[in-house]
Amino acid sequence: MPVRIQSSIIRIMDDYFSILFEAVQIGPVTAPNRFFQVPHCNGMGYRMPQALAAMRGMKAQGGWGVVSTEEVEIHHTSDLAPYVEGRLWDDADIPALRLMVEAVHEHGALAAIELTHNGLTAGNAFSRVPPLGPSSMTVIDAYEPVQARRMDKEAFRNVRRWHRKAAMRAKKAGFDIIYCYAGHDLSLAMQLMQRRYNDRTDEYGGSLQNRVRLFRELIEDTKEAVGDTCAVAARLAVEELLSPEEGITSQGEGYEIVAMLAELPDLWDVNISDWSNDSATSRFEKEGFQEAHIAFVKSLTSKPVVGVGRYTSPQSMVTAVRGGIVDLIGAARPSIADPFLPNKIRDGRFEDIRECIGCNICVTADTIGYPIRCTQNPTMGEEWRRGWHPEIIPPMQSSKEIAVIGGGPAGLECARALGQRGYAVVLVEARRALGGRVELESQLPGLSEWRRVIEWRLVQIEKMPHVSLYPQSTMTTAGILEAGFEHVIVATGASWRRDGIGRYQWGPIPGHNRPHVYTPDDIFAGKMPAGRVVVYDNDHYYLGGLIAEKLLQEGNEVLLVTPSPLVSYWTQYTLEQEKIQRRLMALNCELLVQQKLVEIHEQQVTLEHTICGERRKISCTGVVLLADRLPNDTLYRSLKVYRENGQLNYLNVIGDAEAPNTIERAVFSGHLAAREFDEEDGEDTPFKVERMM
| Residues of span 585-644 touching ligand ADP by CB under 6 A | 632, 635
Which of 191, 376, 460, 632 is the binder for ligand SF4 (CB under 6 A)?
A: 376
Asked if 376 contacts 452 with a C-beta cutoff of 8 angstroms, the reply is yes
| Residues of span 451-480 touching ligand ADP by CB under 6 A | 474-475
414 near ligand SF4, rule: CB under 6 A: no
Considering the complex, state which of residue 53 and residue 359 has its C-beta at the smaller distance from ligand SF4. 359
Considering the complex, state which of residue 317 and residue 648 has its C-beta at the smaller distance from ligand ADP. 648
Element (H, E) at 608: strand 604-609
CB of 636 to ligand ADP, least distance (A): 10
Distances in Å between the alpha carbon of 86 and those of 68, 76, 79, 97, 510? 11, 12, 10, 8, 51
CB of 445 to ligand ADP, least distance (A): 19
Helix ranges, 618-680 (H)? 634-644, 663-676
Q: Give which of 140, 132, 116 is closest to 234, Cα–Cα.
A: 116
CB of 339 to ligand ADP, least distance (A): 24
Helix (H, G, I), strand (E, B) or coil at 624: strand
- Catalytic residue (one of 278, 539, 633, 656): 278
**Active-site residue, 41 included:** yes
Asked if 379 contacts 430 with a C-beta cutoff of 8 angstroms, the reply is no
Considering the complex, state which of residue 388 and residue 496 has its C-beta at the smaller distance from ligand ADP. 496
Q: Tell me the C-alpha distance between 542 and 576, whole Å.
A: 9
CB of 667 to ligand ADP, least distance (A): 8
Asked if 290 contacts 253 with a C-beta cutoff of 8 angstroms, the reply is no
493 near ligand ADP, rule: CB under 6 A: yes
Q: Tell me the C-alpha distance between 547 and 567, whole Å.
A: 13
Helix (H, G, I), strand (E, B) or coil at 569: helix
The angle at the Cα of 110, spanning 74 to 113, to the nearest 5 degrees, equals: 10
Number of C-beta neighbours around residue 665 at 10 A: 21
Q: Which does 238 bind (CB under 5 to 8 A by kind): ligand SF4, ligand ADP, none?
A: none
Considering the complex, state which of residue 254 and residue 655 has its C-beta at the smaller distance from ligand ADP. 655
Edge-to-edge strand list for the sheet holding 532-537: 517-518, 622-626, 532-537, 557-562, 590-593
Backbone angles phi, psi at 647, to 5 degrees: -75, -20
Question: Mask of contacts with ligand SF4, 355-374, x by CB under 6 A?
Answer: -xxxxxxx-----------x
**Active-site residue, 184 included:** yes
Residue type, 484: G
Q: Tell me the C-alpha distance between 569 and 347, whole Å.
A: 43
| Residues of span 333-352 touching ligand ADP by CB under 6 A | none
Q: Which does 409 bind (CB under 5 to 8 A by kind): ligand ADP, ligand SF4, none?
A: ligand ADP
| Residues of span 397-436 touching ligand ADP by CB under 6 A | 405-411, 428-431, 436
Question: Mask of contacts with ligand SF4, 306-335, x by CB under 6 A?
Answer: ---------------------------x--
**Active-site residue, 537 included:** no
Pairing of strands 110-116, 66-73: parallel
Residue type, 69: T
Question: Mask of contacts with ligand ADP, 51-90, x by CB under 6 A?
Answer: ----------------------------------------
Q: Tell me the C-alpha distance between 568 and 527, whole Å.
A: 23
Distances in Å between the alpha carbon of 130 and those of 160, 162, 203, 315, 668? 18, 16, 23, 49, 41
Q: Give which of 121, 256, 240 is closest to 189, Cα–Cα.
A: 121
Helix ranges, 174-265 (H)? 188-193, 208-211, 213-226, 253-261
Q: Which does 320 bind (CB under 5 to 8 A by kind): ligand SF4, ligand ADP, none?
A: none
Q: Which does 27 bind (CB under 5 to 8 A by kind): ligand SF4, ligand ADP, none?
A: none
Piece of the chain touching ligand ADP by CB under 6 A; list 168-176, 244-252, 618-626, 655-663: 655-663
Chain centroid offset of residue 491 CA: 25
Q: Give which of 362, 259, 356 is closest to 311, Cα–Cα.
A: 356
- Catalytic residue (one of 46, 83, 179, 181): 181
Piece of the chain touching ligand SF4 by CB under 6 A; list 148-156, 284-292, 351-359, 650-658: 351-359
520 near ligand ADP, rule: CB under 6 A: no
* Exposure b/e, 252-270, CB count within 10 A at least 16 = b: bbbbbbbeebbebbbbbbb
Q: Which does 356 bind (CB under 5 to 8 A by kind): ligand SF4, ligand ADP, none?
A: ligand SF4
Q: Which does 362 bind (CB under 5 to 8 A by kind): ligand ADP, ligand SF4, none?
A: ligand SF4
Total site size for ligand SF4, rule CB under 6 A: 13
Which of 337, 402, 517, 605 is the binder for ligand SF4 (CB under 6 A)?
A: 337
3-state per-residue secondary structure call for 410-452 = HHHHHHHHHHHHCCEEEEECCCCCCCHHHHHHCCCCCCHHHHH
378 near ligand ADP, rule: CB under 6 A: no
Considering the complex, state which of residue 319 and residue 495 has its C-beta at the smaller distance from ligand ADP. 495
491 near ligand ADP, rule: CB under 6 A: yes
Which of 656, 664, 671, 672 is the binder for ligand ADP (CB under 6 A)?
A: 656
Helix 409-421 vs helix 452-462: crossing angle, to nearest 10: 30
- Catalytic residue (one of 40, 117, 184, 512): 184
280 near ligand SF4, rule: CB under 6 A: no
Piece of the chain touching ligand ADP by CB under 6 A; list 18-26, 264-272, 354-362, 654-662: 654-662
- Catalytic residue positions? 41, 181, 184, 278
For ligand ADP, the binding residues (CB under 6 A) are 405-411, 428-431, 436-437, 474-475, 491-494, 632, 635, 655-657, 666
Chain contacts with ligand SF4 (rule: CB under 6 A): 333, 336-337, 356-362, 374-376
